[in-house]
Each structure stands twice: as C-alpha cells, then as structure tokens.
Amino acid sequence: MRVAVVSILVVVAAVAAGCGAVKTVTSGDPAKGKVLFVQKCGACHILEAAKTQGTVGPNLDWAFGPDKEQGFDYSTIADVVRGQIAYPDTKPSTGKPGMTANLAHGQDAKDIAMFVAQCAAVPNCVAKPGTVSVDDLGAKS
C-alpha cells in the first residue's frame, strides 16, 4: 500500500515536471483553497478537513497521509496536487469515470494545492488564511 502510494506520487510529479506547463507551487492561500476545494473537488473526493464526502475519486486523506508520515515536503504534495489538476487521468483503465482536467486555474489551483498539502490527513486542520509560503505550511502557527 505504501509503496503503491509513493509510486503514484512519483509518476504524477514526473508527468507534471515533464510537461512543464504548470510551475512549482511556491505560495498560496490555503483558506481560500479550502472554499474552492469544497466547490470544485468535494463532489468526487473525501477530505475530512473540508468535510467533503465524494467517492468518485480516491480519498485524499488516504492518498497523502502516508506521504506525510514518511516526511515528504509539503511542497512536493502541493506540486503533485497542482500537477493532478492539470494532467489527471481522464480515462482510468478501470473504466470508471475519470477526473476532469483544469477544474481550477492560476492562483485558484495553487490555493487548492496549498490547502490539500496543509490539511490532507489532518482532520481538525485549520487552513491558514492569507498568502503563505509553501515552506511555512508545516510550521506550527
């Protein structure tokens, strides 16, 4: 299970880096990202901190919890989320519906990535308001 999750992360990051169309997420507003996540992502994804219940896509607490346990940088998680928004698997081999590409753009997509990086697998997470650096996400406020 752990190995599988890490390999997904590496593949998504590699795809994102290869295309070069989306840049590294350096900063954003996780509190805004939370609102956008509920609107644009929650219908398909469970993320406890956002209280969303969608089950079309993977549970994002489970997707990123192991990465956090293993000490991955939050910036890596933010980049994976940003890459996923731009380059999702729109037609999974399972035959189930895939994820629509580019559900959010520009700063909105970065804000969402910052929120997921900060709050995935942290059920009582309080999303940081205002623009913060990705390097400050893990720091206790």
Contacts with ligand HEC, residue ranges (CB under 6 A): 8, 40-41, 43-45, 56-58, 60, 63, 81, 84-85, 88-89, 92, 98-100, 103-104, 112, 116
Minimum distance of ligand HEC from residue 139's CB (angstroms)? 23
- Give just the sign of the alpha carbon dihedral 4, 55, 87, 80: negative
Minimum distance of ligand HEC from residue 122's CB (angstroms)? 15
Closer residue to ligand HEC (CB): 63 or 132: 63
- Closest Cα partner for 32 from 128, 99, 103? 128
Q: How far is CA 67 from CA 48, 111, 136, in A?
A: 17, 20, 18
Closer residue to ligand HEC (CB): 40 or 68: 40
Radius of gyration of the chain (CA): 14
